């Protein structure tokens, strides 16, 4: 057997062993989808721009450019995109929203926005947490 083929075989075997170990240990359990799927450590993160009017304004501009086409101008949602006024979103911690913006959920049609800088994602979170007052 060639060296390349041996490396692929060993790699595949290692992957299979790790996957089985996760299933046996329970680590491979399905995480809830959406914002509710945020790990506790992410949920505990605080927004460095919380309550900052400039950050909320910057988040409003980002929302208009990146999010409104799916979630609507006022976050009302349409099609497969949920309303951002939904209880799940309104009750979510800033850290959980940040995690969800970063990772997305492609099964539910939400892209990952990790390509936006961390400060810009936090600005979006600041806007979302003030959505009622920010869209009037």
In 49-109 the beta strands, taken as DSSP E runs, fall at none
Listed in sequence order, the residues at least 6 apart from 1 whose beta carbon sits closer than 8 Å to its beta carbon are 9
Q: Cα–Cα distance between 8 and 15 in angstroms, integer?
A: 10
Q: What is the pLDDT of residue 3?
A: 56
Q: Cα–Cα distance between 102 and 96 in angstroms, integer?
A: 10
Going from the first residue of the chain to its last (136 residues), give the mean pLDDT of each consecutive group of 10, the final group possibly shorter: 50 44 46 81 96 97 95 90 90 96 91 97 97 63
Listed in sequence order, the residues at least 6 apart from 18 whose beta carbon sits closer than 8 Å to its beta carbon are none
Q: What is the pLDDT of residue 45?
A: 96
């Amino acid at each position: 057997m060639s060296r390349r083929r041996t490396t692929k075989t060993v790699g595949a075997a290692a992957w299979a062993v790790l996957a089985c170990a996760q299933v046996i240990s329970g680590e491979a359990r399905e995480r809830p989808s959406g914002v509710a799927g945020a790990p506790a450590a992410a949920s505990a993160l605080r927004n460095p721009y919380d309550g900052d009017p400039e950050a909320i304004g910057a988040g409003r501009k980002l929302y208009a450019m990146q999010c409104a086409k799916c979630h609507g101008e006022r976050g009302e949602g349409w099609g497969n995109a949920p309303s951002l006024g939904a209880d799940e979103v309104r009750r979510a911690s800033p850290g959980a929203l940040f995690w969800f913006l970063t990772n997305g959920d492609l099964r539910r049609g939400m892209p990952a926005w990790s390509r936006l800088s961390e400060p810009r994602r936090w600005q979006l979170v600041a806007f979302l947490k003030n959505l009622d007052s920010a869209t009037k």
